[in-house]
Amino acid sequence: MNIMNLINALPGAVAQGLIWGIMAIGVYITFRILDIADLTVDGTLCTGGAVCIMLMQSGQNVWVAMAGALAAGMLAGMATGLLHTFMGIPAILAGILTQLGLYSVNLKIMGKANQAINVDKFDLMVSLRYIKGVPFYKNTILIVASVIVVLILILYWFFGTELGCSLRATGCNDRMARAQGINTDLNRVLGLMISNGLVAVSGALLGQYQGFADVNMGRGAIVIGLAAVIIGEAVFGRVFRNFGFRLLAVAFGSIIYYFVLQIVIWLGVDTDLLKLLSAAVVAVFLAIPTWKSRYFSRTAGKGGV
Amino acid sequence: MLEIRNISKTFNPGTVNEKRALRNVNLTLEDGDFVTVIGGNGAGKSTMLNAIAGVWPVDQGQILIDGKDVTKLPEYKRAAFLGRVFQDPMNGTAATMGIEENLALALRRGQSRTLRAGIRNQEREVYRRLLSTLGLGLEDRLTSKVGLLSGGQRQALTLLMATLKKPKLLLLDEHTAALDPKTAAKVLETTEMIVNRDRLTTLMITHNMKDAIIHGNRLIMMMDGNIILDIRGGEKKSLTVEDLLHKFEEVSGEEFTSDKAILG
């Protein structure tokens, strides 16, 4: 166990953490704001990567490819949203259905199970080759960090608008929202579209970063997203109260997740067990609010002055 | 102002749990009417209010608000005409949002939600002034999360939200039932103040016969999905609890079995 191996791996962990952080922010929007656990993201992540890489292979520039990925992700979110609202399917099941359907869609987009993109032949926005030894404006960590800051600023603005506020109200108390004249079905679809759009952008960046898109690249993405949300809240929850900073905390949570992952790998843990480990850690963190209220607090009275 | 024509609603039709909650109900409210609604559990009081609010579609009949047929309008569109306060204080507000944010949501009831700022500075002055009329000190806590408020405070805030944009009809579904007696009296007092100030047409369900008699200019009693009593004008003014019990026996043909739910 050479400590230098770990230190050398850390910039990569930061870059990956940041890229997955964008996805985690998408998960935050559905999981925390809309109060829906949206499993679509496992499929959307690959959709984003696949669309981006195929568009670039066909000669489009990276910005068009990223916009295409965003649009494809939003379509996937809309599919889940309509399954949930228009067809009345429970949100979790709606997400699972879209995710399964996306597996075929992703295969058709790519034509096979994976597609590579060569960093030397294409002008990529990010790559694992752009971490060291490149001018700072090409540095992947810097670029992804800037993307995250811009996205957070946009989301911060959006959730402060009339529409954004009505979306928050929908997730918090949909009965109240409807009584205040808010179209809760439309808002759910909209929220799922925004979330999956972000996840697809994350997938597009991830595809460029690792140099390929693979039909299995999104497997378990929701768990990583939830882990980032939970870690971010646990570590920064008391410091960051402002909505924008909460989103930032989610991105930091994702970085921490990849840091820990690198350390675990460095310690020589069998990498086949990583997903099991992730699942167990997320399960425990999700259980904490329940355990807290069950074992550590007196039950508060209902109503009263 | 409100006209209900022959509406019926059956829950779980064709199953063992079938419940005919409303049976050909007719009701017309005049502009400025303050109607109290009483009746035992399962009489159809809340069902009638939910039918008006459009929580689900009715099986038959028509609902007109201010002459406009709203029977086919979804709940969120009908909200443009309605102010609502629920029995459970948790239902009327968004707990994770601030007091001012909740009020800002209510101010935009009936408007499409745009990408303009969700709350503007000049609104805050209005909110502060209106909150101070509640006498709960909420005017100094504009940014506090509503989840931190007590049930009574939340109900008073919901009342303010329901009437912030003057509704054509105010629907109060036992909005004091979950509160302790002292808080309930205070919220009722606030209700009376707002309804009188804005001359609101109001339907108020209550479990408490005395409240039903004291408040409003008209009283209706429901049983088995029907309106069985409709008392208004001078007769309502001189009404006593004994009168009401007597009338109930007369109309229903049943002895009044000191139903605690009705006596309150």
In DSSP notation, chain B reads -EEEEEEEEEESTTSTT-EEEEEEEEEEE-TT-EEEEE--TTSSHHHHHHHHHTSS--SEEEEEETTEE-TTS-HHHHTTTEEEE-SSTTTSS-TTSBHHHHHHHHHTTTS---SSBSS-HHHHHHHHHHHHTTTSSGGG-TTSBGGGS-HHHHHHHHHHHHHHS--SEEEEESTTTTS-HHHHHHHHHHHHHHHHHHT--EEEE-S-HHHHHHSSSEEEEEETTEEEEEEEHHHHHT--HHHHHHHHHHHH-S-----HHHH-
**Residue B263 above 70 pLDDT?**
no
Residue B100: both structure tokens together: 């001012």
User: Which positions in chain A touch B90 (Cβ < 8 Å)?
Assistant: 173
Q: Shortest Cα distance from A184 to chain B (angstroms)?
A: 8
Question: From CA B18, how far away is CA A305, in angstroms rounded?
Answer: 39
Q: Cβ atoms within 10 A of the Cβ of A275, count? A: 13
**Identity at A144, one-letter amino acid code:** V
Domain count along chain A:
1
The whole-number pLDDT of residue A303 equals 43
**Residue B38 above 70 pLDDT?**
yes
The answer to whether A237 contacts chain B (CB < 8 Å) is no
Domain count along chain B:
1
The whole-number pLDDT of residue A1 equals 67
Q: Find, in chain B, the residue whose alpha carbon is nearest to that of A168.
A: B97
Domain that holds residue A266: 3-292
The whole-number pLDDT of residue A298 equals 59
Q: Are B93 and B157 in contact (CB under 8 A)?
A: yes
Domain assignment present for A221: yes
- Identify the band that residue B246 occupies on the pLDDT scale cut at 50, 70 and 90: confident
Sign of CA dihedral B248, B37, B262, B217: negative
Domain assignment present for A297: no
The answer to whether A165 contacts chain B (CB < 8 Å) is yes
Phi, psi of B247 (to 5 degrees): -60, -40
| Continuous segment of H or E residues that includes residue A213 | strand A212-214
| Continuous segment of H or E residues that includes residue A99 | helix A91-110
Sign of CA dihedral B13, B14, B19, B25: positive
Question: From CA A224, how far away is CA A182, in angstroms rounded?
Answer: 32
pLDDT one-digit tens code per residue, B57-108: 999 999 999 999 999 999 999 999 999 999 999 999 999 999 999 999 999 9
CATH of the domain at B163: 3.40.50.300
Domain assignment present for A81: yes
**pLDDT, mean over chain B:** 92
The whole-number pLDDT of residue B247 equals 84
pTM for the whole thing? Answer: 0.91
Domain assignment present for A209: yes
Residue B153: both structure tokens together: 């405070």
What integer is the mean pLDDT of A194-206?
A: 98
Question: From CA B35, how far away is CA B202, in angstroms rounded?
Answer: 6
- Identify the band that residue A295 occupies on the pLDDT scale cut at 50, 70 and 90: confident
End-to-end CA distance of chain B: 30
A179 and B75 in contact by Cβ < 8 A? Answer: yes
User: Which positions in chain B touch A172 (Cβ < 8 Å)?
Assistant: 94-97
What share of chain B in percent tops pLDDT 70? 96
User: Which positions in chain B touch A190 (Cβ < 8 Å)?
Assistant: none
Domain assignment present for A303: no
Domain assignment present for A105: yes
Give the position of tokens 């569109």: B77
**Residue B259 above 90 pLDDT?**
no
**Identity at B99, one-letter amino acid code:** I
Domain that holds residue B37: 2-263
What integer is the mean pLDDT of B110-133?
A: 94
The whole-number pLDDT of residue B233 equals 85
Domain assignment present for A304: no
What integer is the mean pLDDT of A64-83?
A: 98
**Residue B264 above 70 pLDDT?**
no
Name residue B5's beta-bridge partners: B62
**Residue A161 above 50 pLDDT?**
yes
Q: Which of residues 176-195 of A touch B (CB under 8 A)?
A: 176-184
A163 and B114 in contact by Cβ < 8 A? Answer: yes
Domain assignment present for A9: yes
